[in-house]
Amino acid sequence: MASVYIQMGHCFRATGATGTGGEQELNKAVAARAARLLRNDGHTVSVRKADESVFKTDVFVAIHGDGSENASAAGASVGYQDDNGRKIAAQWKRAYQRMGWPTGFRSDNYTEALGQYYGVSRARTAGTTYAFVIECGFLTNAVDGAELRSGKGRTRAAKAIARAVERVLGEGEGGGGEGQRGTKIAASPTAKKAQAHAWADSRGCAPVFHEIIDAGWSHAKAIGIDPAVFVAQAAKETGFGRFGGVLDASFHNSCGLKTREGGDDSDPRAHKRFPSWSAGTEAHCAHLALYAGKLSAEEAGKHGDPRNFPFIAGKAKTVEKLGGAWAPSPDYGKSLLRDFLKPLIAHE
């Protein structure tokens, strides 16, 4: 687990550089949300005011909101001073955009103040590995400002910080890091269980889908995959618990898993019937973890996966790669991400 220093830009200053109107409130709110997410993932987090001393941690991030006399100025931006800073800033931008940030980005280090930000300089001097500053968008712009004053917009910025930390540190020194494109399956939670329930309700789910969420959430976390990915796939495969295809709820099968022998997609007998939602969702999570390379075939079998074939181990480490692997359609993973996972993560 990592140590993370979060600096609330301009916060608690009454004179001098106090920030754009509403910026201190924004920065405090995003910092509080990011700290909660990171602590839930097991990281050690220090949230500090703008003028407090900076000390060595694994990650330093300063949170800001931009402003301009030109009301049309828009877009988020990042600042950094070395290659490690560039890497984590790129991950924040990627996550921020995927979660729905609407107005794009300005060039990295687009102002001297951003590129030479004092907090980043002090963090690097202290020995911090990854140091960067974010400008979440322009509070003076109608579109950006509306996003940044909303709970949804502030949560998006915070989640992008947590995702960036997970991306650069979760891969390890020899891992994929920035070069590993896509949305990892074996990852810490990108949503809360209550959020998943609320999203399912907003999509008109059947009551049984709440049972599926409750049964599988803890299995996903215990096995080491993002439970939001499990919920998103269960929603796609079961029609939010409405089923209506070859299977019905009596199968307790949340993803259409077949028996060891398999068979035709239209044959109910080719599909595994589980004794409970706990058993069915555990097997579902294990099968996902096998594709992601989180479990070996033997380990997946111990979790009840009936199709724990060694040749699929590590075949799809990201949601996008499930296309052509979990399902024949090359667009399966993209659809899962676009139509299910991203809306779940963005749901308030």
Q: Does position 287 have pLDDT exceeding 50, yes or no?
A: yes
Q: CA-CA distance, 162 to 193, in Å (whole number)?
A: 17
The predicted-structure confidence for 140-183, as pLDDT tens digits, reads as follows: 999 999 999 999 999 999 999 999 998 888 643 323 333 345 78
Mean pLDDT for the stretch of residues 231-241: 98
Nearest to 300 by CA among 199, 226, 224, 210: 224
Strand order in the sheet with 59-66: 44-49, 3-8, 59-66, 130-138, 77-79
Alpha helices per DSSP H over the chain: 23-40, 83-98, 112-115, 118-126, 142-148, 151-170, 193-202, 207-223, 227-238, 277-292, 297-302, 332-335, 342-346
Q: pTM of the predicted model, to two decimals?
A: 0.55
The most distant pair of C-alpha atoms in the chain lies apart, rounded to whole Å, by 72
User: Hey, what domains does the chain have and what are their CATH numbers?
Assistant: 3-179 (3.40.630.40), 193-346 (1.10.530)
Q: How confident is the model at residue 10 (pLDDT cuts 50, 70, 90)?
A: confident
Query: Could you tell me which residues are beta bridge partners of residue 44?
Result: 3
Supply 267's token pair: 């044959």
| Identity of the residue numbered 238 | T
Looking up tokens 């300063």 gives: 62
- CA 183 from chain centre, in angstroms, equals 8
Q: CA-CA distance, 228 to 102, in Å (whole number)?
A: 23
Q: Does position 272 have pLDDT exceeding 70, yes or no?
A: yes
